[in-house]
Amino acid sequence: HKIMTMVTIKTQVAIVMHKTTSIVTQVASREKGDEAHEKDVEEPKTETVPPSVDGNRDPIINQGADTDGEYSSRPQRSEQAKTRNEYIPSFEGKTYARQFFMGTEERDCRLNKDDVLKDMANFMFTQMSAKKGLEMFEERAWAALIKEYTQLRDMEVIGRLDPKALTKQQKRDALRVVNLIKEKRCGKIKGRTCADGRPQRKYVPREESSSPTVSNEALMGVLSVFAKENRAVGVFDVPGAYLHADMPDDEFVVLRFEGIFVDILCEVMPWLLVDVVYENGKKVLYVRALKAIYGCIKSALLWYDLYESTLAKDGFEINPYDKCVANKMVNGKQCTIAWYVDDNIAGHADKKSA
């Protein structure tokens, strides 16, 4: 059996070697044929245009001889096609407004697809981690985070927690706080703080976390009505929208700040210093979320419920066909509002009423 196996292996190796030799021979013959073809091709001859009567050459290019052998001043079309130069994209001599470009090396976009995708992402997405933002923008990024944490303090988003009173499971289930830095088109640096709510997907059903948003059909219908009735239109957003919604009392959401962000938070809220602990040599601060902070699974739905109930108290009636469109009669005429999360558009016939 072993002898038969060895014979089979040797036979297969011989077949592979034979095929490889055939391929190499074919490639070599093709290369020889190409070289012979290049030698046989003659270089195009250049005709010399005879001087005109006054001794100067005619300035017209591509002159040729007519049927009588005399040269004509009429331009002739060249029979040989001109060789086109390969197009190489260049940004030289032009001005392009860039928001922010994280790459420092100029790369050839024709060679590496991955580099092209990275460059495109750097052009389109100007948001980065706060750690990267602090390295690049330093004091400006620090000031942006201070402003963001000040909003958390003023809106009473977080509350104190005694780390000794937390169980190991509660610490493991704590949501890590994510801090981001964004450079706007105007050059302003903005800080963003949210929670990494992915662990909540394990125990929060989808029907308890999904929030309605205005549909494309409803939005197009609203815009059509505004245009048809020539309404006065206003567009606005709600600053810190989610943070206006309270976290339910039965929701015990623990947030976890780490590293340098503990120092920034304690600079804004010095009373939290007593709750700072060290875990594996790293500063850690556990706090409780009192508001629907961005990133939590239920935050969007909590904000919608608050906004919808606020409009209802103000006399608006929710559209039965779209839960993000509401109407109210103001001074005998209809006022319509549609919203997508915290972005709103409203229209009314009277500019003062709108």
| pLDDT attached to residue 61 | 42
Structure tokens belonging to residue 342: 């915290």
Structure tokens belonging to residue 92: 């030289």
pLDDT tens per residue across span 127-168: 788 988 899 888 999 999 999 999 999 999 999 999 999 999
Q: In 41-137, where does DSSP find H-type helix?
A: 113-124, 130-137
Tell me which residue of 132, 115, 135, 131 sits closest to 123, measured CA to CA: 115
More confident site: 91 or 216:
216
Region of poorest pLDDT, from 202-211, 214-223, 266-275? 202-211
Structure tokens belonging to residue 222: 């609203």
Phi-psi category of residue 268: left, alpha or beta, with phi > 0 → left and psi -120 to 50 → alpha? alpha
| pLDDT attached to residue 126 | 67
pLDDT of 261 above 60? yes
pLDDT tens per residue across span 16-50: 565 555 665 665 566 555 555 555 544 545 444 44
Whether residue 266 contacts residue 272, with contact meaning beta carbons closer than 8 Å, is answered with yes
Beta carbons within 10 angstroms of residue 182's beta carbon = 17
| Domain boundaries along the sequence of the chain | 1-36, 127-348
pLDDT tens per residue across span 271-330: 999 999 999 999 999 999 999 999 999 999 999 999 999 999 999 999 999 999 999 999
Name the band, by pLDDT with cuts 50, 70 and 90, for residue 353: low
